Amino acid sequence: MEPSKEFDELFEEMKDVKRSEEARRNTWLALKTRLEAKRKPNIIPAFISLAIVAIASFLFITFLNPSETEKSAEPLSNEEVIKAVLEREYTGPDMELLRLIDNWLNLQSKTDAKNQEEYDQLLKSKEYTDIQDYYQNTFGAYFSEGVLASLINSNLIFKYDYHLDNSGIEMHLENVEIKQEKDHPNIYRPVIEVSLTNNQGQKIFHTLQEEFILSTSEPGKIGSYNGVKDGGGLELQKKIANFNSYAR
Amino acid sequence: MEMEQLYREHSDRVYNYIYLLVRHREFAEDLTQETFYKAYKGLNTFNKQASTATWLLKIARNVTYDYFRRKRVIQFFSFEKEHDLETNALSPESRVEQKEQLARMYDSLSKLKKDYQEVLLLRKIQECSIQETAYVLGWTEAKVKMKMTRALEALKKEFHREGGHANGTIKRIR
Output the domain CATH number for residue B26.
1.10.1740.10
Helix B25-42 × helix A21-39 angle, to 10°: 40
| Across B34-62, average pLDDT | 86
Q: Are residues B99 and B64 in the same domain?
A: no
> Nearest 5°: CA angle at B59, between A126 and A170?
65
When the pLDDT of each residue in chain B is averaged and rounded to a whole number, the result is 78
Residue B32 one-letter amino acid: T
**Confidence grade of residue B86 (pLDDT, cut at 50, 70, 90):** very low
| Across B137-153, average pLDDT | 92
Query: Would you state the pLDDT for residue B79?
Result: 42
Task: Write out the residue range of the structural domain in which residue B35 sits.
Answer: 3-71
Query: Would you state the pLDDT for residue A4?
Result: 60
Q: Are residues B110 and B164 in the same domain?
A: yes
Classify A208 as helix, strand or coil.
Answer: strand
A211, A236 contact by CB (below 8 A): no
B156 and A3: CB-CB below 8 Å? yes
Query: Would you state the pLDDT for residue B171?
Result: 35
Q: Indicate whether B63 pLDDT > 80.
A: yes
Query: Would you state the pLDDT for residue B98?
Result: 66
Q: Is B49 left (phi over 0), alpha (psi -120 to 50) or beta?
A: alpha
Side-chain half-sphere CA neighbours of B145 within 13 A? 4
Residues in chain A with pLDDT < 70? 1-4, 38-46, 62-73, 154, 228-229, 248
Q: Among residues B156, B23, B12, B27, which one has the least CA distance to residue B85? A: B23
B155 and A7: CB-CB below 8 Å? yes
Classify A137 as helix, strand or coil.
Answer: helix
Query: Would you state the pLDDT for residue B153?
Result: 92
* The model scores a pTM over 0.80: no
Q: Are residues B56 and B99 in the same domain?
A: no
Name the more confident of A60 and B165. A60
A27 and B33: CB-CB below 8 Å? yes
Q: Are residues B110 and B141 in the same domain?
A: yes
Residue B153 one-letter amino acid: E
Structurally, how many domains does chain B consist of?
2
**Confidence grade of residue B165 (pLDDT, cut at 50, 70, 90):** very low
Q: Are residues B67 and B96 in the same domain?
A: no
Among B36, B71, B106, the domain-final residue is B71
E strand or H helix that includes residue B155: helix B141-159
Q: Are residues B146 and B97 in the same domain?
A: yes
Measure Cα distances from A79 to A90, A145, A180, B139 in Å: 16, 19, 9, 54
Instruction: Count other C-beta atoms under 10 Å from residue A216's C-beta.
Output: 10
B98 and A13: CB-CB below 8 Å? yes
Beta bridge partners, A206, equal A194
Name the more confident of B75 and B100. B100
Q: Are residues B64 and B18 in the same domain?
A: yes
Q: Are residues B60 and B114 in the same domain?
A: no
Classify A44 as helix, strand or coil.
Answer: helix
Q: Are residues B102 and B155 in the same domain?
A: yes
- Give me the CATH number covering residue B107: 1.10.10.10
Asked whether the bond before A93 is cis by omega within 30 degrees of 0, the reply is yes
- Nearest-Cα distance to chain A for B121, in Å, is 9
Is residue B104 included in any domain, yes or no?
yes
Classify B113 as helix, strand or coil.
Answer: coil
How many residue pairs from chains A and B have C-beta atoms closer than 8 A? 88
Q: φ, ψ for residue B95 (rounded to 5)?
A: -65, -45
Query: Would you state the pLDDT for residue B168?
Result: 35
Is residue B142 included in any domain, yes or no?
yes
Classify A194 as helix, strand or coil.
Answer: strand
Q: Indicate whether B172 pLDDT > 80.
A: no
- Nearest-Cα distance to chain A for B116, in Å, is 14
Query: Would you state the pLDDT for residue A61?
Result: 72
Classify A135 as helix, strand or coil.
Answer: helix
Is residue B77 included in any domain, yes or no?
no
A13, B106 contact by CB (below 8 A): no
Q: Are residues B157 and B112 in the same domain?
A: yes
Residues of B in contact with A241 (CB under 8 A): 30, 33
Q: Are residues B47 and B13 in the same domain?
A: yes
| Across B135-139, average pLDDT | 90
Query: Would you state the pLDDT for residue B97?
Result: 67
Q: Indicate whether B90 pLDDT > 80.
A: no
Q: Which residue in B has a C-alpha nearest to residue A234's C-alpha?
A: B26
A241 and B33: CB-CB below 8 Å? yes
Is residue B82 included in any domain, yes or no?
no
Measured on CA atoms in the order B166, B169, B173, B174, is the torsion positive or negative? negative
B12 and A10: CB-CB below 8 Å? no
Report the distance separating Cα A138 and Cα A88, nearest Å: 8
**Confidence grade of residue B89 (pLDDT, cut at 50, 70, 90):** very low
Quote ipTM for the complex: 0.76
Could you say which of B7, B12, B19 has the minimum Cβ distance to residue A31? B7
Give every CB contact of residue B30 below 8 A, 6+ residues apart in sequence: A27, A241
Q: What would the pLDDT profile of B114-126 be if each residue is shown by its tens digit?
A: 889 999 999 999 9
Classify A58 as helix, strand or coil.
Answer: helix
Q: Indicate whether B73 pLDDT > 60.
A: no
Measure Cα distances from B86 to A204, B24, B98, B121 in Å: 39, 16, 9, 19
Is residue B174 included in any domain, yes or no?
no
Report the distance separating Cα B114 and Cα B118, nearest Å: 6
